[in-house]
Amino acid sequence: MNESLRRVDAHQHFWRYVLGEFDWMGANMAELRRDFLPPELRLLLDREKIGGTVAVQSRASEADTDFLLELAAAHPWILGVVGWIDLRAADLEAALERRDGERALKGYRHQVEDEPSPAAFLEDGPFNRGVDAVLRRGKVYDLLVRAHDLDTAARFCARHDTGWIVLDHFGKPDVRGESVQAWAARLRPFRDMSHVACKVSGLITEAPWRAWRAEALTPYFAAALDCFGPERLLFGSDWPVCRLSGDYAQVCALARAATASLSGPERDAVWGETARRVYGLDR
């Protein structure tokens, strides 16, 4: 396969915008209040020579999972879907079994960061049992938390070591209010958790919107590489959310600069091979 076709954007979203269904969109996110669908992203992928993507849920709804799976069926370059399911439901096992035959469905995510107390949610018994059930079925769990909850997240990940957990968006460092060193210290417990990978995604929206500088953000990549190594890092654009702070080309340029010193195989890992292995995208 052509090398560029092996590249994967491991974190992007699609949606048809419906007022009231996207509670996470703040008043300052008018840019996102429209439809974002595959033809628009395909043009950007072609420009950056990226062969495929992983589409990630953006609503706490199984209808969103179905929507993404329909898109994946229509667009083979959508290599995988990280959907949503009610992980605390009493009938979860039956719900997971109903979805076992959906080949494109590679994992699940719940937007834990939006819970009233994310740390308490990560300790919740039914939720933990739900994550166990997901991993037992060979699916990936995507973990979305902010940096101040990384200590609790590390304990959560240590409890769930039977399958892959993917930490989204560098663990959402507080770029504006905390030093790189303080955030890197929070990451340290994940170093020896070989079942935890990390998406190098979503960084420019944690920085001052449209005022960030590449030289201020590349140290986050360096710290993530030091903690996880290329074999546990996955490039993701976080499109279209990234549009709040920059465009697709800028996200890719930042990641290219931050990985330029790596060997060829190491760059290949970050830019697609890790995603293919973790999510089983070639299966």
Q: What is the pLDDT of residues 136-157, one digit of tens each?
A: 999 999 999 999 999 999 999 9
First to last CA, the chain: 15
Q: What average pLDDT does range 253-269 have in this prediction? A: 98
Structure confidence by residue, pLDDT tens digits, 185-194:
999 999 999 9
The pair of three-digit structure tokens given for residue 245, joined into one six-digit string: 């702070």
Q: What is the pLDDT of residue 245?
A: 99
Q: Which CATH architecture has domain 3-279?
A: Alpha-Beta Barrel (3.20)
pLDDT at 154: 99
Task: Write the CA distances from 111 to 57, 66, 87, 131, 245, integer angstroms.
Answer: 9, 17, 12, 13, 21
How many whole angstroms separate alpha carbon 29 and alpha carbon 23? 11
pLDDT of residue 147: 98
Its pTM stands at 0.97
Q: What pLDDT shows up at residue 5? A: 87
Residue-wise pLDDT for 41-52, tens only, equals 999 999 999 999
The pLDDT of residue 279: 99
Question: Is the Cβ–Cβ distance between 139 and 169 less than 8 Å?
Answer: no
pLDDT value, residue 1: 52
Instruction: Give the pLDDT confidence of 14-45 residue by residue, as tens digits.
Output: 999 999 999 999 999 999 999 999 999 999 99
Q: Evaluate if residue 283 carries a pLDDT over 90.
A: no
Its sign, for the CA torsion 181, 111, 59, 233, is: positive
Q: Domain residues of the chain, as ranges? A: 3-279
Residue 223 pLDDT > 60, yes or no? Answer: yes
- What pLDDT is recorded for position 2? 67
How much is the mean pLDDT over the chain?
98
pLDDT of residue 160: 99
Q: Phi and psi for 55 in degrees, rounded to 5?
A: -90, 130
